[in-house]
Amino acid sequence: MELYGWNTISEEPLNPKLTRKVIHARNITIARMDLQKSAVVPEHSHANEQISVVEKGALKFLLDGVEQIVRAGEILTIPPHARHSVEALEDSRALDIFSPVREDWIKGADQYLRG
């Protein structure tokens, strides 16, 4: 058992409008993503199943060509290998939960988020 607090986890700047805090457990990764208005996560896919919980703000997801606005208090599931992108419609925070662990993030192979 391990106890974490978001206030003790280092914030990682990915680009000028996107930061994250990450916890990797044995079988899942959870990330707290802070996106400033107009931040974009470019189209990508990954082998992980993803659950996105929007805590504040509004995010526009494009998932396999289908647009979905997700607002505070709403949850979106993204299946493995689905092509998707995200745009922040306002300053937003989301918890992203992935299974299995995001090995690409651990290895630093997440260049689509940076820059």
To the nearest whole number, what is the mean pLDDT of the chain? Answer: 97
pLDDT average, residue stretch 37-52: 97
The whole-number pLDDT of residue 63 equals 96
The whole-number pLDDT of residue 115 equals 72
The whole-number pLDDT of residue 2 equals 93
Q: What percent of the chain has a predicted confidence (pLDDT) above 90?
A: 97
Write the secondary structure of the chain as one string of H (helix), E (strand) and C (coil): CCCCCHHHCCCEEEECCEEEEEEECCCCEEEEEEECCCCEEEEECCCCEEEEEEEECEEEEEECCEEEEEECCCEEEECCCCCEEEEECCCEEEEEEEECCCHHHHHCCCHHHCC
**Looking at the domain covering 11-113, what would its CATH class be?**
mainly beta
Q: How confident is the model at residue 44 (pLDDT cuts 50, 70, 90)?
A: very high
End-to-end alpha carbon distance in the chain: 35
6-37: pLDDT as tens digits: 999 999 999 999 999 999 999 999 999 999 99
The whole-number pLDDT of residue 87 equals 98
The pTM of this model reads: 0.94
Kindly report the CA angle at 74 between 31 and 92, in degrees rounded to 5?
Answer: 55
pLDDT average, residue stretch 72-90: 98
pLDDT average, residue stretch 40-56: 97
Tally the C-alpha atoms within 13 A of residue 115's C-alpha that lie toward its C-beta: 4
